[in-house]
């Protein structure tokens, strides 16, 4: 469990927000909320998923190209049938239940060994100190997202967790982000979204939100240029500095900065 603590017992903060160093003369931050993707952004589940599926394909003498995986990152789990694809490539039927169970056990073991991604804990702590509301917008099932957040002691920090079951349309559609905005009670220009992959970036931008790309090892080589800002990890830029950039963004329709 992490050392993150909910300091206002889940109540909406009505604190005077601190000044940001170097942020003109305005003592208040226009940003009121942060919305995070989950997979590959808070916890690196992407590498374990890709690794475990790659091992299954390798056992059948086949390769799972990163390009195939890249196309489904950020989409719901049911957007691609790996076992059907495997059977098609192998030209034969496989014992789906056996392969599925073994692959899931391997993936779970890999994920269990993963820490929170760099900077996540600090960002969540800093956001709470600044009185910002927090949400998750994910294409994964609630049991998956909430289960992992609870395992790390993070679930109470989020005012809203929007998952696959909560919207009829999913990333790259903006529906998950619009649902998160509604749950938080903030306008698009009052939020910042954090995403690791193109489909999520497209969803956040279509919702009118300032979008930060934070790639993981699987998505680092993908085209993330539609984000307003790109950072190598959440540890690469203090939250106060990032908010200063977001609050200076003239509009949410044009990428404005890259930080590497």
Tell whether 243 and 144 lie within a shared domain. Answer: yes
| Catalytic annotation present for 39 | yes
258 has a pLDDT exceeding 80: no
Q: What is the pLDDT of residue 238?
A: 97
Same domain, 244 and 132: yes
- Does 173 qualify as catalytic in the annotation? no
pLDDT at 29: 58
Q: Are residues 229 and 127 in the same domain?
A: yes
Domain boundary among 72, 93, 112: 112
Are both 96 and 151 inside the same structural domain?
no
Residue 19 lies in a domain: no
In tens, the pLDDT along 87-145 reads: 998 899 999 999 999 999 999 999 999 999 999 999 999 999 999 999 999 999 999 99
Residues 55 and 37 in one domain: no
Q: Which domain holds residue 244?
A: 33-44+116-248
Domain boundary among 81, 112, 143: 112
As a whole number, mean pLDDT of residues 194-201 equals: 96
Which pLDDT does position 24 carry in this prediction? Answer: 37
Tell me, yes or no, whether 190 lies in a domain: yes
The model carries a pTM of 0.82
Q: Name the least confident of 24-38, 107-121, 208-222.
A: 24-38
pLDDT in tens, 132-182: 999 999 999 999 999 999 999 999 999 999 999 999 999 999 999 999 999
In the prediction, which pLDDT does 208 show? 96
For residues 39 and 58, membership in a common domain is answered with no
Is 79 found in the same domain as 196?
Answer: no
Do 127 and 214 have their domain in common? yes
* 3-state SS record for the chain: CCCCCCCCCCCCCCCCCCCCCCCCCCCCCCCCEEEECCECCCECCHHHHHHHHHHHHHHCCCCCCHHHHHHHCCCCHHHCCHHHHHHHHHCCCCCHHHHHHHHHHHHHHHHHCCCECCCHHHHHHHHHHCCCEEEEECCCCHHHHHHHHHHCCCHHHCCEEECHHHCCCCCCCCHHHHHHHHHHCCCHHHEEEEECCHHHHHHHHHCCCEEEECCCCCCCCCCCCCCCEECCCHHHCCHHHHHHHHHHCCCCCCCCCCCC
Q: How many domains does the chain have?
A: 2
Residue 250 has a pLDDT of 65
Active-site residue, from 25, 37, 108, 126: 37
Q: CATH number of the domain that 222 lies in?
A: 3.40.50.1000
Tens-place pLDDT, residues 60-90: 999 988 878 877 776 776 778 888 989 998 8
Q: Which residue in the list 25, 26, 39, 173 is annotated as catalytic? A: 39
How does pLDDT run across 2-30, given as a tens digit for each residue? 344 343 444 333 333 444 443 333 444 58
| Single residue among 64, 83, 112 that ends a domain in this structure | 112
């Amino acid at each position: 469990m992490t050392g993150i603590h909910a300091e206002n017992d889940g109540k909406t903060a009505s604190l005077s927000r601190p000044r940001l160093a170097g942020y003109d003369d305005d003592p208040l931050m226009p940003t009121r909320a942060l919305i995070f993707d989950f997979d590959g952004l808070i916890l690196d589940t992407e590498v374990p998923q890709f690794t475990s599926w790659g091992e299954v394909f390798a056992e059948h003498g086949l390769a799972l190209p990163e390009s195939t995986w890249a196309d489904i990152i950020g989409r719901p789990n049911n957007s691609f049938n790996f076992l059907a694809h495997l059977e098609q490539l192998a030209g034969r039927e496989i014992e789906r239940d056996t392969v599925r169970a073994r692959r899931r056990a391997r993936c779970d073991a890999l994920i269990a060994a993963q820490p929170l991604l760099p900077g996540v804990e600090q960002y969540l702590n800093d956001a709470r100190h600044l009185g910002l509301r927090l949400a998750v917008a994910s294409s994964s099932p609630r049991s998956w997202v909430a289960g992992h957040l609870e395992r790390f002691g993070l679930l109470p920090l989020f005012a809203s967790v929007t998952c696959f079951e909560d919207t009829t349309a999913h990333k790259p559609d903006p529906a998950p982000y619009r649902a998160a905005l509604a749950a938080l009670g903030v306008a698009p220009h009052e939020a910042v979204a954090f995403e690791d992959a193109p489909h999520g970036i497209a969803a956040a931008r279509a919702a009118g939100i300032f979008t930060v790309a934070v790639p993981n090892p699987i998505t680092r080589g993908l085209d993330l240029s539609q984000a307003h800002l790109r950072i190598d990890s959440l540890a690469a830029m203090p939250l106060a500095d990032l908010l200063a950039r977001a609050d200076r963004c003239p509009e949410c329709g044009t990428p404005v900065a890259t930080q590497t």
